[in-house]
Amino acid sequence: MSKLLIVKADQEEALFGDGGWDAVVVVGDANGLESHPEIGQLVAHAAHVDARIGKEPLMLMAPGLAGGRLVLAPTGDLDNEYEDVRRFAEAAQAGIGIALRAGARAPLLLVSGNDDLRYSQALEVALMGAGHEIYTPFDVSGPEVTLGVLGLDEVARVNALENGRIAARDLCGGDPEQMAPPAFADYCVELFSDTAVSVSVIDDPDTLKADYPLLSAVARASFAVERHAPRVVRLEYVGEGVISRNWFLAGKGVTFDTGGADLKIGGAMAGMSRDKGGAAAVAGLMATLAQLKPKGVRVVAELGLVRNSIGSEAFVPDEIIESHAGVKVRIGNTDAEGRLVLADVLSHLRESVNGCENPVMFSLATLTGHVGRAYGPYSAVIENGVARGQALGGQLQMVSEIWGEPFELSRLRREDFAQVAARSPSERLLSSNNGASVNISRGHQFPMAFLVQASGLDQHGLGSDQPIAYLHLDIAASSVEKRDPLYGQPTAVPVATLLANLLDH
């Protein structure tokens, strides 16, 4: 895994070339930098000869400034009531891109402030955009880059966050062989070696089939191919001091999804190596915690890593399989495999909750095409009754807005339970109907009804002896940059949002 070093720079030394920086990148309104009149003077002069100044990203020759380069990366109109903080990430990404292509390897970021509460994390979000541009996939040789920043207080946090996001991008973006289940698990073992996060890997076929029956059904055709065989990775972080937060996260890690017997056709299989974005994001969050070491929190995660292959051993529709929670599930469509993986993983995490105070469970998954049909390039959060009663989904949505990873708050309703109700006395649940989720009414909501019941979480609702708040995060439309959903760079969504929720800021 590569690393990006973010350094807090001394203001005067950095700007005027004595700090080792080789470009200055200004994000926002350069005319609003009252504390840097020398930059304002340069910009004012340039605006007399170039009408593009302030309208699009540009680089100016700037003798005397660090590297002799000044990159202007305007954010556009921030007063528009429908705008959000992503403007800062987009501007920083564009500006840093210009600096890197010009040869800079130690750019210095200067973010123009804004008093609007929407932009309270503008500096950190700009750094996330810069990190996205600097990122080089693990299988590509790229330049070493150090990113300087002015006006930043929490240097340790942004470094830990970006390194977690790098891990999430690596894991999500690796091709079907580079990040097949055993390779994904090996990456995690190396990533968490000698850290505050403990890691264990379940790879024994008999154990997997006995303890993760739905997951193993998805992986049935891949068991015989050693390099594709399934894995379950368990990660745990326990901070120092009195534990006030207990989180449990399940990550969908389908390293390649052919659709199984319900084969994806018409080009729909391309890009399905990115169907592990949920597990990748969970691992990225844990990598951030391993470096940051926050006190008072316990986070347990399980990653279900499978390849949904085709072949004579593949599972098929109409099969009835009993989940780890003891629920008989009739398979409706083998291309609705992610919910099967998550159900068993959630069931195991549910058993880990015993005795914990105020536990919160999450599932993260690139689960449905419907979420993109419903919300475009946004993530969706769906709550069970306990989480809704605590307004956890609304809180997550609010935090996601100021961290530039916006979620839409969706809703679980009674019709969703009807979608997965038994169709015969032989089963208790139907995993899905036999159509693509993009064409199904409430196609991203009703899988939550399945997950709640197949995992046994329906026994932990409001009024139960041990209520468990549970939120399902469908990131199918946001885990890869929207300009190229098949082959674009993974976004590492929602690592920043989860970290901010966990730490209350």
**Is 43 contained in some domain?**
yes
* Strands of 245-257's sheet in order across: 197-202, 231-238, 297-308, 245-257, 359-365, 469-474, 379-383, 407-409
**Is 95 contained in some domain?**
yes
**Is 268 contained in some domain?**
yes
**Is 207 contained in some domain?**
yes
pLDDT for the residue numbered 331: 98
DSSP assignments along 69-81, one per residue: EEEEE----S-ST
Decide: 471 and 387 in contact? Cβ < 8 Å: yes
Decide: 306 and 219 in contact? Cβ < 8 Å: yes
CATH code of 14's domain: 3.40.220.10
Decide: 149 and 6 in contact? Cβ < 8 Å: yes
The residue from 153, 176, 200 where one domain ends is 153
Decide: 216 and 208 in contact? Cβ < 8 Å: yes
**Is 409 contained in some domain?**
yes
126 and 229 together in one domain = no
Cα–Cα dist 479/493, whole Å? 6
Q: 339 an active-site residue?
A: yes
Decide: 495 and 284 in contact? Cβ < 8 Å: yes
Residue 141 neighbours by CB under 8 Å, 6+ apart: none
pLDDT for the residue numbered 40: 86
147 and 190 together in one domain = no
Kindly report, residue by residue over 308-345, the tens digit of the pLDDT: 999 999 999 999 999 999 999 999 999 999 999 999 99
119 and 213 together in one domain = no
DSSP state of 320: E
402 and 297 together in one domain = yes
141 and 278 together in one domain = no
176 and 116 together in one domain = no
Cα–Cα dist 232/211, whole Å? 11
83 and 207 together in one domain = no
Helices 155-173, 495-503: axis angle to 10 degrees equals 140
CA–chain centroid gap for 459, Å, is 28
Amino acid in the structure at residue 363: S
**Is 159 contained in some domain?**
no
Q: 276 an active-site residue?
A: no
Kindly report, residue by residue over 396-408, the tens digit of the pLDDT: 999 999 999 999 9
pLDDT under 50 in the chain at which residues?
none
pLDDT for the residue numbered 321: 98
Q: Which of 264, 293, 298, 373 is catalytic?
A: 264
133 and 180 together in one domain = no
pLDDT for the residue numbered 286: 98
Q: Give the domain range for residue 429.
A: 165-503
Residue 27 neighbours by CB under 8 Å, 6+ apart: 73, 75, 88, 91, 92, 95, 109, 110, 111, 112, 126
pTM for this model (two decimals): 0.96
Q: How many CB atoms lie within 10 A of CB 425?
A: 6
Q: Which of 169, 220, 274, 339 is catalytic?
A: 339
179 and 101 together in one domain = no
Tokens of 110: 């200067």
219 and 311 together in one domain = yes
Burial letters for 308-342: b for 16+ Cβ neighbours within 10 Å, e otherwise? Answer: bbbeeebbebeeebebbbebebbbbbbbbbbbbbb
Cα–Cα dist 10/151, whole Å? 9
**Is 158 contained in some domain?**
no
The residue from 153, 180, 207 where one domain ends is 153
The residue from 114, 132, 153 where one domain ends is 153
Q: What count of Cα atoms within 13 Å lies in the side-chain half-sphere of residue 419?
A: 23
137 and 60 together in one domain = yes
DSSP state of 62: -
Counting the structural domains of the chain, the total is: 2
**Is 351 contained in some domain?**
yes
CATH code of 330's domain: 3.40.630.10
- Facing residues of 399 across strands? none
Decide: 374 and 290 in contact? Cβ < 8 Å: no
Q: Where are the beta strands (DSSP E) in 2-106?
A: 5-8, 23-27, 58-61, 69-73
